[in-house]
Amino acid sequence: MVETATGRVLHESGADRQAYPASMTKMMTLLMLFDAIESGKFTKDSRLKVSRRAAGMPPSKLGLKPGSTIAVDDAIRALVTKSANDVAVVVAEAISGSESSFAVAMTKKARDLGMSRTTFRNASGLPDTRQLSTARDMATLSTVLIRQYPTYYDYFRIKSFTYNGRTYKNHNKLLDDYPGVDGLKTGYIRASGFNLAASAVRGGQRIVAVVFGGKTSRSRNAHMITLLDRGFSRVQVARNDLPSAPPPEKPLLASAQSHGPDIQTAAVAPAVEVNGMVVLPALRPSLAQDNIHGEGDYDEGPINSFGIQVGAFTDPIKAQEAARTATDSAPAHLLGRELRITRVESGKSILYRARLLGMQVEEAEAACSALKLTSRVCIVVKADPLDLAAVQQ
């Protein structure tokens, strides 16, 4: 937690531990876009072209069509409110020609700002095990956005955005729930938990706080409210030149909350057969118990009952290999999904279905479209009851 006027760290805990930033990544994408506007490369009215790759990004998204265009002003609003992954790629390609080149530029910018433990591999925050940051680095980025681009920072105050007749609400509920909060960004992927960078003003004093790894959006928001309350108390004490307050019982800033997921790489667990189903480990750490859908910013909702099937095999190991190969071929769509190998009888034969589950139907369709571009077999499936029971565990 940082006092922006002085840069004074009010409190920290695990602030340099690397974790997945998820959609907080889009703060850097926006900073790069603001730089491009200021340099004269774009205006707010400039139209950015939507590539086939950008349109194929998984949710959260606007659903832009290949060959269409979007105004820079709308792109900014879509990134802030909807956290649109398709728009993030549109911006990346417009600035650097490709998302991979943009990610290199993002990382260089991070180094220039002193974000020494941050590496970007994409513009959206979609799952990539090499895309890492820290609470301290995200606080630095937040402070730069506020100080360097105060006019553009006003975009982060937007509570809703209407595009093509549809209105999208900002995922940052603290804009309504905490007086003084005026912006910055949420982030969520299964491997990260619920992240949030928030800034608030009280009594003329501004604070930036960052939380990584909340177990749910609600618990993360409650934790952030506690942080901000205590932070403003500390600022007031310091301004009145009184003795420092005693250390709080709970940390004011965490790169991963104590009740959140551990960000680590685990050895692959062996397959286990349950009720005729061979259950293999998930490809990445997940928060399936939180009943979250998608790979963008979402609040709690019903569990997704769709997925994809990438083959049926007589050998369960080959089924597992097929699922992992599919994930490697379309990581933006499939990294972090639940892998399930299900044993079924087909006549006199036994087959093992290779499935990746936990998707909305639109996500499953997008994943299959991406795999078919690489000439891979893929069908959209509705998960069986046994599959859903496994996902819900």
Q: Cα separation of 391 and 289, whole Å?
A: 8
Provide CB contacts within 8 A for 133, sequence distance 6+. Answer: 18, 19, 20, 21, 24, 25, 115, 117, 118, 119
For residues 49, 54, 60 and 63, what is the CA-based torsion angle, rounded to 10 degrees?
Answer: 60
Q: Determine whether 51 is an active site residue.
A: no
Return the residue matching tokens 């940082």: 2
List 60, 61, 82, 83, catalytic entry: 83
Structural Rg of the chain based on CA atoms: 22
DSSP strand pairing (193-202 vs 205-214)? antiparallel
Ligand-binding site membership of 185 (annotated): yes
Residue 66 phi/psi, 5° resolution? Answer: -55, 135
Quote the Cα angle for 9-12-15, to 5°: 110
Cα separation, 121 vs 131, whole angstroms: 5
Residue 351: both structure tokens together: 């087959």
Write out the two tokens for 178.
Answer: 């905490």
* Residue type (1 letter), 63: G
Which residues have a Cβ under 8 Å from the Cβ of 392 and sit 6 or more positions away?
288, 289, 303
Which DSSP symbol is given to 250?
Answer: S
Catalytic residue among 23, 51, 96, 329: 23
Catalytic-role residue among 26, 82, 109, 173 = 26
Beta bridge partners of 198: 209
Rounded Cα distance between 72 and 61, Å, is 16
Residue with tokens 């790894």: 213
Give the rounded distance of the alpha carbon of 247 from its chain centre: 32
Helix (H, G, I), strand (E, B) or coil at 233: helix
With beta carbons less than 8 A apart as the criterion, state whether 326 and 376 touch: yes
Q: Enumerate the known binding-site residues for substrate.
A: 185
**Which of the residues are catalytic?**
23, 26, 83
